[in-house]
Amino acid sequence: MAEKKRAIDKELVRELAELLKETELSEIEIENEDLRIRVARNLGPAPAANYAVSVPAEASPSARDAADASEAIDDPSRHPGCVPSPMVGTVYRAPAPGARPFVEIGDTVREGQTVLIVEAMKHMNEVAAPHSGRVSAVLVEDGQPVEYGEPLLIIE
């Protein structure tokens, strides 16, 4: 028996596209029974921004020199140690409000260690360090909305 195809609700797609414009989101997805609709807009590459990298006072001179050399990272997404956001959501630097952040600039992390949380649709998603190294930049604030692929941290 052939599966019956469901007609696409063009009005729903238009409404979702309008919602994207109103909320300035880059994508939205809904699911209902056997129907799933995802609407996304291509915003093109984000404009490059300069991010200041601060170094704790107790850092060694070699760590300060390395930070001075990369004080203004032109495009953190191109940095080999960039940790991008795995999804659209809200980033949290600590496991709970008022708790100590997972990582600070200058901390050494292990591959797989939780470094941030991104909340999406009331689900807390841990962001793990993709490799071991030292956190040289934290590019987001606690509670900041983030886009998919947006640079969150630099681990060198």
- DSSP secondary-structure letter at 144? -
Mean pLDDT of 31-51: 60
* Top-confidence residue, 23 or 123: 123
- C-alpha dihedral sign at 36, 41, 42, 47: negative
Burial track 54-72 (b if 16+ CB lie within 10 A, e otherwise)? ebeeebeeebeebbeebee
Domain covering 51-155 assigned CATH 2.40.50.100 in the classification: yes
Q: Is 52 helix (H, G, I), strand (E, B) or coil?
A: strand
* Top-confidence residue, 143 or 65: 143
Task: Give the model's confidence band at 38: pLDDT under 50 very low, under 70 low, under 90 confident, else very high.
Answer: confident
Specify the pLDDT at position 43.
52
Mean pLDDT score of the chain: 76
Q: What is the pLDDT of residues 1-12, one digit of tens each?
A: 455 556 677 787
Query: Structural domain boundaries of the chain?
Result: 10-40, 51-155
pTM of the model: 0.54
Specify the pLDDT at position 90.
92
Mean pLDDT of 28-40: 73
Q: What is the pLDDT of residues 81-120, one digit of tens each?
A: 899 999 999 999 998 888 999 999 999 999 999 999 999 8
Specify the pLDDT at position 7.
67
Q: What is the pLDDT of residues 57-83, one digit of tens each?
A: 444 444 444 444 344 457 888 888 899
